[in-house]
Amino acid sequence: IAGIYGIFYARLGGNICAVLRLSGPLKEQYAREHGLDFQKLLDASTYKETYRRDMICWGEEKRQADPGFFCRKIVEGVSQPIWLVSDTRRMSDIQWFQEAYGALTQTVRVVASEQSRQQRGWVFTRGVDDAESECGLDSFGDFDWVIENHGDEQCLEDQLENLLEFIHAKLQR
């Protein structure tokens, strides 16, 4: 588990925290239906990028037929009290969790400047990086928490510590 989610997982522990990826069941089902290597679709590889645009279209078709399809898949059998859904990218995903879990749902947006993202190796791909799968929540303004990850490690640490304190307070109730 990498990045901010890995930090939370490490600090909270696997008995308390589960990192869930909506893209996991999407990629697994897509790989099964198209005869592809599921494990290779999970990483940031050329292999995944080859199928990314089609996989996005396929996932959109699934969501249009059943907006909660992938959300239900990732929570099946999860016993930890804290769930970090690492790749919520659409209003329908947030709506599903809010309807299913109400006040227990907290939304956290992690933002980084384009410059910071480019320094980490990100390259904009038209038709992919401007699709709903990547920016469907850009206009959602009601996040409970916004974490800025622009490269200032102390600033990031302070923000994460505030959120962790909030989580610990909720767990003690």
Q: How many domains does the chain have?
A: 1
Give me the domain span that covers residue 113: 3-171
Q: Does the annotation flag 34 for ligand binding?
A: no
pLDDT of residue 23: 86
Q: Does the annotation flag 15 for ligand binding?
A: no
In angstroms, rounded to a whole number, what is the distance separating the alpha carbons of residues 43 and 60? Answer: 20
CATH number for the domain spanning 69: value is 3.40.50.300
Whether the pLDDT of residue 76 is over 90: the answer is yes
Report pLDDT digits (tens) over 14-28. Answer: 899 999 988 888 899
Q: Does the annotation flag 168 for ligand binding?
A: no
DSSP 8-state class, residue 104:
G
In angstroms, rounded to a whole number, what is the distance separating the alpha carbons of residues 118 and 89? Answer: 20
Report pLDDT digits (tens) over 100-143. Answer: 998 889 999 888 988 998 888 888 888 877 777 787 788 887 89
Q: Does the annotation flag 149 for ligand binding?
A: yes
Percent of all residues in the chain with a pLDDT value above 70, rounded to a whole number:
99
In angstroms, rounded to a whole number, what is the distance separating the alpha carbons of residues 15 and 28? Answer: 25
pTM summary value: 0.80
